[in-house]
Structure 1
């Protein structure tokens, strides 16, 4: 008697429920923004996304892998700026970042920074990914500025990145209760003040 063919193995990969991946990634950031690392669980993410826990595990082996992809999803495009000037690029970048932080899901990245700073050991690779993504993305902006002669070639790029991102992050931390109500004029004034300070320290031309 001929042996029957073995049943095809179900491959691990992206969730098969239409739209599930986007919902899960958004839910992961919202869940982290509300609960932080200590309260973050795959079960809670699945409930918030309206999917079964198995659907999450089809794509992500653990919560660290899930958060890495979630960070990548929301960080994409923040640094995609090219206005033709360093000031314009930094103002557009700071504005994008500030708006990202004002979003409930974007707030999760702020909590990640705070949680990582206060943890006695590494929380996971997702915290490193947050820092590396922003640093890597800003370097082309600074290289263009050097090529245009706006800043010296020996500009300490890492320090400039820390000053810009640190200032925007601290501004967000100072208004957690009413952050989403920040008006466009308020946001613009804060961004211009930050960029003025950063450029003055970088030795760029004044406004």
Structure 2
């Protein structure tokens, strides 16, 4: 529907400040990465994003809905790979994961997992979004490999997800504890080693 002046009507609930949505999503992940669920507030997100609190609430009614979209939006890019082979796709996904864990968005996803595991009650839908993004990415990669005949239909994406994400998580925690940052060369080497283990070990075969 258009206004009387012929201009498109704004969708309800969208931020009116140019570029606000992306800044708010980035700010939300940075806030969570620093403060966790207990210290995460919409006010803090608004200040970090450089917008008014009303701009945040125009799009997201509460911090759960904001974090759910932030995790889904940023996490979905990790598995956006298609190299034509299972090994290539999983290696690229692993590299993307390591790189994301280096920034605020990736660290926030890890902290969300830790907070959810240690909570006595369900924190919110955003915790489920983290798991969904991880499993969905690998599931798409594995399905393409099944369609190409690289692996059998019984191949389990959840086990592959556990191997890749588990290894990347432990390596990320170790590097933070040791105050070191993984270089691109480190990431490439570790990713190749992880996928070699997954394909030759977990799947019990080599894949091209």
Give the TM-score normalised by structure 2: 0.88
SS in structure 2 of the partner of residue 58 of structure 1: helix
Give the TM-score normalised by structure 1: 0.88
SS in structure 2 of the partner of residue 152 of structure 1: coil
Contact kept, 8 Å, 1:20 with 1:49, in 2: the verdict is yes
- Count, aligned residues: 198
Contact kept, 8 Å, 2:86 with 2:145, in 1: the verdict is yes
Matched, 1:189 2:192: no
Whole-angstrom CA distance in 2 between matches of 1:47 and 1:183: 32
Which runs of no fewer than 5 residues in structure 2 stay unpaired?
A: 1-9
Matched, 1:79 2:79: yes
Q: How does 1:20-169 map to 2 (within 5 A)?
A: 20-169=20-169
Deviation, structure 1 residue 187: 1.1
Deviation, structure 1 residue 152: 2.4
Residue 5 of structure 1 corresponds to: none
Contact kept, 8 Å, 1:78 with 1:93, in 2: the verdict is yes
Contact kept, 8 Å, 1:172 with 1:179, in 2: the verdict is no
Deviation, structure 1 residue 178: 6.2
Whole-angstrom CA distance in 2 between matches of 1:26 and 1:98: 18
Q: Write out the 4+ residue segments of structure 1 that deviate beyond 6 Å after TM superposition.
A: none
Contact kept, 8 Å, 2:25 with 2:66, in 1: the verdict is yes
Which runs of no fewer than 5 residues in structure 1 stay unpaired?
A: 1-9
SS in structure 2 of the partner of residue 174 of structure 1: helix
Residue 205 of structure 1 corresponds to: 206
Whole-angstrom CA distance in 2 between matches of 1:89 and 1:11: 37
Contact kept, 8 Å, 2:150 with 2:207, in 1: the verdict is no
